[in-house]
Amino acid sequence: MSENAKKLSSSSWAENARTIAYALLIALLIRAFLFQPFFIPSSSMESTLLIGDYLFVAKYSYGYSKHSLPFSPPLFSGRVIGMQPERGDVVVFKQPIDNHTDFIKRVIGLPGDTVQMRDSVLYLNGKPVPRVRVDDFIYRDPTGNVRRIPQYRETLPNGVSYITLDMIRDSVWDNTGPYVVPQGHYFMMGDNRDNSSDSRVADSVGYVPFENLVGKAEIIFFSANGSASFWQFWKWPWAIRWDRMGKWVD
């Protein structure tokens, strides 16, 4: 190989390396400051979010904390450009117990609020949150069995409205004591009220510090029902939930 050819090859490798480095940097900046993809692994937010949904989380919604960055490096404490969430927001946050595991729930209680469940009805500051029965949620298990689950439309004091499930009559979570949300913290609940580890469970989630918020769930960009493995490409068209793609998270 001639000297010119070697120089040209070396220059090409250097240029490719720079391009890859720039691409990785841009991807990191987008993930840290704009949008982060998130996968729904559990049924705690049904029927709003289903197992197999992939969505984008807006990182800028509540400002930035150390949890905005991958692996939550302890570079600073608190939040920068902090903006408070609103009741009804669907939020990804770091589990307070380990400050590592990502959870996704709905903001129900703000700092200073009193939250309680009475006979499966949500109470905020001593007043029942209105709820109306709607069509049942149709649940199909992996074996094809069908179950109808009662659904209710709940409307918070600020007008945010969403669907909740009532899977178990007289469950342990249908009646609770009052929870008083501390300053700088939030009370989170899953829409699948009887199948959600959330702020009602003190040794699992409890009250969520403002610093632990990662971002607001915005839009579902992909969804699959789990009926096809990644290598079963011929089944993909029937495994994809086409109707959920591009759906905004309410």
Give catalytic residue positions: 44, 105
Q: What angle do CA 49, 54, 56 make, to 5 degrees?
A: 100
Contact indicator for 99, 212 with CB cutoff of 8 Å: yes
Degrees, nearest 5: CA angle 187-201-98: 85
Sign of CA dihedral 78, 100, 34, 247: negative
Rounded CA-CA distance 138/144 in Å is: 12
Distance in angstroms (rounded) separating the CA atoms of residues 219 and 216: 10
Its sign, for the CA torsion 203, 55, 187, 31, is: positive
Q: Is 108 helix (H, G, I), strand (E, B) or coil?
A: strand
Identity of the residue numbered 80: V
Which residue type occupies 250?
D
> Is the link from the previous residue into 47 a cis peptide, with omega within 30 of 0?
yes
Residue 32 CB partners (closer than 8 Å, separation 6+): 59, 64, 68, 69, 70
Q: Which residue is listed with tokens 């705690």?
A: 44
Strand arrangement of the beta sheet that strand 161-165 belongs to: 131-140, 146-155, 161-165
